[in-house]
Structure 1
Amino acid sequence: MTLSKRAILITYPVEQAIGEAASLADAAGYKVEKIVTQKNLTRSRYGVGRGKAEEVKVIADKLKPDTILFDEVLKPTQAYNLASVVKVEVIDRERLILEIFERRASTTESKTQIKLAQLRYDMTRARESVRLSSAGEQPGFYGIGKYEADAYLLDIKRRVSALKKKLEKEVTKRQLHRNQRAKEGLMSISLAGYTSAGKTTLFNALTGEGKTTAASVFTTLSTATRAVGLQGDKVLLLDTVGFISKLPAYMIDAFKSTLEELSYAELVLLVIDISEPAHEVRHKLASSLEVIREFEVPESRIVYVLNKVDKTGVDDAFEKAGQLGILSSKRVIPVSAKTGFNLDQLRDLARSLLFETEKVQDEIGGS
């Protein structure tokens, strides 16, 4: 069993931010020994103020952690400057997410996607990282060593190009599968939502599968597809990678071959953990919709699935949905993927939206 790496976590003094950052740390295999909070994590020199950096150094001298986890995106100079003060490796939010992805990737496609995202991360920092690493030894600072900046950057570009070609083959393969489904008249439903909202639990409940589920983030990194019956009509149900706030464009792009299934699905079930406080639900819904809109999914295809009502109650779920302004869509349904509550009603709603709308359109076309 791999021992957890010990870490000090620097994050915002907000409960939601602390909880999410701690979940990310745990998923990446870090044991958080101390949480340090700061209102502003984007200051120019260290990410935090000099005084806070010195405070972290005092804590680090005492606890001797393996890593400082920084819950924001840092420029190489900021990571370097902070590491110079605390004398411990500094890992920012993006790199932490990449570490989780690397741990969780299980398919050839997802491993290729992760490697592409890692190279994109390195590419944006290559020149500055090389300059800084040659200026002096820093704990764990990217490990670039004696590479010349241009040679290093060229090597990254070559590897990115090769990985893109690999993923293009996956895109072609998926398109062939979609074409085959279309010939067979099969419609598809995609599950989407913030990480840990319960998408995979819902997938298992609707399909009878036993896909791995966990309370930790990013359990699912690759698409799973299964056929399900809706009162005699067969459709395909797809589980996709979860979303998270501040996910950079290059990471979304790396997962494009997986997430683009959202664009082609006749219906997208947007799974929301409605048991959380209203402000957290609002934040996570906004982050999820931001990604969904990247793939040009029209509002008319989205069903808002208010999951985990076993933890909160139906009335509370509807009250939060009203606060979020999504009740007007009339495609809102409270469920519990864990207990099975309202799943038959969810199936009925999906069938109605997919087949009865299609039937009406056929009748109009034939009249």
Structure 2
Amino acid sequence: MNSAILITYDKEDAINEAKGLCDAAGYQVVHTITQKFLKRPKYGISGGILERLEELSERLRPDVIVFDEILKPSQNYNLASILHREILDRETLILEIFERRASSAESKLQVKLAQLRYEMARAKEKVRLSSMGEQPGFMGIGKFEVDVYYNDIKHRMQTIRSKLEKAGKQRELHRKGRKRMGFNTISLAGYTSAGKTTLFNKMTGETRDENKELFTTLSTTTRRITIKQEPFLISDTVGFISKLPAYMIDAFKSTLEELAHTDVVIVVVDISDSLFDLKKKFASCMRTLSELGVEGNKLAFALNKMDLSKSNEIMNKIEILNLSGKNNWVLVSAKTGENIDKLKEMAANIIENYSLTNPKNM
């Protein structure tokens, strides 16, 4: 495993998530520097912290330095010039994880598209900086002129987009086929690591890979299940994360748009999270679902990991999430299987109610 020095925010949830991202990308964090503010113009951090980082970098000799914020190319260049190490910002780190996790042809294309979008946004600045001298892991673009470099990225993006478009059309045909055969569809969504894949396995009898790492699932898997003697198709989708840039969501559009077309979306929530984490992750999920055009009356909430929580704490959290008094949530444990049948029934009821109130859409 490669080593990394991590620079992140001075908050427990930020530290845990950043360490989780490093771990998922294959980096062992050998030292963590925490700061209240990571957006200073020249280096992202203050000169005093940079000196400390320089000394640490010399002593610990990490493979990379991970900066848990989005860096401008000039900031990345300035840091690499002084530290003589490869600098990975939050976006590059997530892209590395996506690259490691992509297994299907479509998810590999989606990751490539996201990487090119990242490159394109920085192309002009990178070419300007490359003439000032190369830095570790920073350039690798030779003596490209701006336009040549920019157009090359553009052309590669167009090629990938047309391939993804074909995959999207294929997906649409599958959707229409499922509808004709009378299948109702359920999708699992939620913050990465909420336990979606474990829940998927419990609901379907599958044995998909499940672990605590972030982004275990990048490509959608669909299986058939039976609820109330009726056939349903259930899908697992890519996990959401805070501060996930719009272009990354856009790159995974053909996978994520399934959520807008599905009959019910089960949002998996880790109810054992601290109050702060719970609110942040819930808001992040709801924002992403709204951006994808998922209708509110198609949502069901699986409040997972009930086995790790006290009942009075759970009720308080349900109140805070504004779910009390509503009938579209159920407490479950994907680990023990508790209330899984209740969850399936609730999903079937939501579909039934939706079809009664929106007959044209079904």
- Same structural fold, with TM-score higher than 0.5 when normalized by the shorter chain: yes
Q: 2:137 aligns with which of 137, 140, 144?
A: 140
2:32 aligned counterpart, secondary structure = strand
**Change over 3 Å in CA distance of 1:46–1:357 after alignment to 2:** closer
2:98 maps to 1:101: yes
Deviation at 1:356, TM superposition (A): 5.4
Q: Does the CA-based 8 Å contact 1:335-1:343 persist in structure 2?
A: yes
Is 2:32 the partner of 1:41?
Answer: no
280, 290, 294: which one pairs with 1:293? 290
Cα root mean square deviation, aligned: 1.4
- The separation in 1 between residues aligned to 2:325 and 2:133, in whole angstroms, is 59
**Corresponding position: 1:270 with 2:264:** no
Unaligned 5+ runs, structure 2: none
The residue that corresponds to 1:53 in the other structure is 50
Separation of aligned partners in 1, 2:220 and 2:146: 37
Superposition TM-score, scaled by structure 1 size: 0.95
Quickly say closer, same or farther: Cα 1:235–1:149, change in 2 above 3 A. Answer: same
Q: Could you say what secondary structure the match of 2:216 adopts?
A: coil
Any idea what the Cα deviations from partners look like across 1:168-223, whole Å, max 9, x if unmatched? 00110011011111111211111000000000100000000111001000000001
Aligned mates of 2:205, 2:160 — CA distance in 1: 34
In the alignment, what sits opposite 1:309? 306
- In structure 2, what is the Cα distance between the partners aligned to 1:46 and 1:356? 54
Shift in Å, 1:97: 0.2
Is residue 222 of structure 2 the alignment partner of residue 186 of structure 1? no
Identify the range of structure 1 (314-323 vs 53-62) with the bigger mean alpha-carbon deviation.
314-323
Percent pairwise identity: 51
Q: TM-score, normalised by structure 2?
A: 0.97
Contact 2:297 2:354 in 1 (8 A): no
Q: 1:357/1:73 Cα in 2 relative to 1: closer, same or farther (>3 Å)?
A: closer
The answer as to 2:219 corresponding to 1:215 is no
Query: Which of 69-78 and 294-303 deviates more?
Result: 294-303
Pairing 1:239-278 to 2, within 5 Å after superposition: 239-278=236-275
Aligned pairs (5 A) from 1:1-367: 4-355=1-352, 358=355
Deviation of 1:84 (Å): 1.5
CA drift at 1:310? 1.0
Equivalent-residue separation in structure 1 for 2:254 and 2:354 (angstroms): 29
1:76-129, Cα deviation, whole Å (9 max, x unpaired): 001111111222111100000000000010000000000000000000001101
- 5+ residue gaps, structure 1: none
**1: CA distance, partners of 2:103 / 2:311:** 36
Quick check: 1:194–1:272 contact (8 Å CA) kept in 2?
yes
